[in-house]
């Protein structure tokens, strides 16, 4: 028996050929100076995509949008108080109309009959205005709540809502300036400022990026 015989059980084991590289996996080259090695067992976190302006997607609500949300809540509180006040006035007018109807029924020549009918119509109109105020309050609260997860629909609705509110505020402001009373100017001026911020917050680049961010 010769040690060179490959069938010799007492000879040295045959040398194994070098292992071929694993296909499908990137080969680790020598470490480069200043480049930290990649950690094993943890996937690399992808960077957040960017919106067309080139900045990274914001992960927290921008400050201007936070301010607009607070203003929406304040406006909703004013609208709720206004709606409740209109309902109270409508109830008062309806009671007065009922009293007028009672007086008109006790005397055939009493002119309060027409006043009572007109009072009921006025009460109905006031109730309608109160329902509009309460409906707008619900819209203000809904938009403020939807700022956290809302998409383009919430953004567009907020812009239109703020613009319409600004127009109404400007009308009240011009009317207050014509009256010459300082108290008739302060509230419309505050309303216009609130409406301007609510309109601008979703339009500026930070607001656009917030509503365009990816949602998982």
Instruction: Name the nearest CA neighbour of 49 among 202, 212, 206.
Output: 212
- Give the separation between CA 85 and CA 141, rounded to whole angstroms: 19
103 phi, psi to nearest 5 deg: -65, -40
Question: What would the pLDDT profile of 16-74 be if each residue is shown by its tens digit?
Answer: 555 555 545 455 555 555 555 554 444 454 444 444 444 455 578 899 999 999 999 99
Q: What is the mean pLDDT of the chain?
A: 78
pLDDT at 194 exceeding the cut of 90: yes
| pLDDT computed for residue 205 by the predictor | 93
110 contact partners, CB below 8 Å, separation of at least 6: 103, 104
Residues 6+ apart with CB under 8 A from 63: none
pLDDT at residue 103, as a whole number = 72
What local confidence, expressed as pLDDT, does residue 123 receive?
87
Residue entry with tokens 């009373």: 181
Q: Which among 201, 200, 176 is positioned nearest to 186, based on CA atoms?
A: 176
Reported as a pLDDT band with limits 50, 70 and 90, residue 161 is very high
Q: Which of 129, 118, 123, 114 is nearest to 93 (CA)?
A: 123
> What's the first-to-final CA gap in the chain, in angstroms?
72
Q: By percentage, how much of the chain surpasses pLDDT 90?
A: 44
φ, ψ of residue 115 to 5 degrees: the values are -65, -40
Cα dihedral 69/73/74/80 (nearest 10): 150
Q: Which residue has the higher pLDDT, 208 or 2?
A: 208
CA distance 151 to 55: 19
Q: Quote the CA–CA distance of 102 and 141 in Å, as a whole number.
A: 43
pLDDT tens-digit series, residues 101-148: 777 665 555 554 455 667 778 888 999 999 999 999 999 999 999 998
Q: What is the pLDDT of residue 17?
A: 55
Rounded Cα–Cα distance for residues 35 and 13 (Å): 42
User: pTM of the predicted model, to two decimals?
Assistant: 0.67
Give residue 95's Cα distance to chain centre: 41
């Amino acid at each position: 028996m010769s040690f060179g015989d490959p069938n010799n059980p007492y000879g040295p084991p045959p040398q194994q050929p070098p292992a071929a590289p694993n296909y499908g996996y990137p080969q680790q080259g020598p470490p480069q100076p200043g480049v930290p090695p990649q950690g094993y067992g943890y996937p690399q976190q992808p960077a957040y995509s960017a919106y067309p302006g080139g900045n990274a997607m914001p992960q927290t609500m921008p400050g201007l949008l936070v301010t607009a949300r607070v203003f929406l809540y304040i406006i909703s509180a004013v609208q709720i108080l206004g709606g409740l006040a209109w309902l109270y006035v409508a109830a008062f007018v309806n009671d007065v109309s009922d009293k007028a109807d009672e007086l008109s029924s006790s005397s055939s020549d009493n002119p309060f009959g027409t006043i009572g009918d007109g009072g009921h119509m006025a009460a109905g109109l006031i109730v309608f205005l109160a329902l509009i105020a309460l409906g707008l309050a619900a819209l203000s609260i809904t938009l403020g709540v939807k700022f956290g997860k809302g998409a383009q629909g919430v953004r567009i609705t907020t812009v239109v809502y703020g613009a319409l509110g600004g127009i109404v505020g400007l009308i009240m402001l011009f009317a207050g300036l014509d009256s010459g009373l300082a108290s008739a100017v302060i509230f419309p001026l505050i309303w216009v400022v609130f409406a301007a911020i609510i309109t601008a917050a979703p339009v500026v680049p930070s607001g656009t990026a917030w509503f365009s961010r990816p949602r998982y």
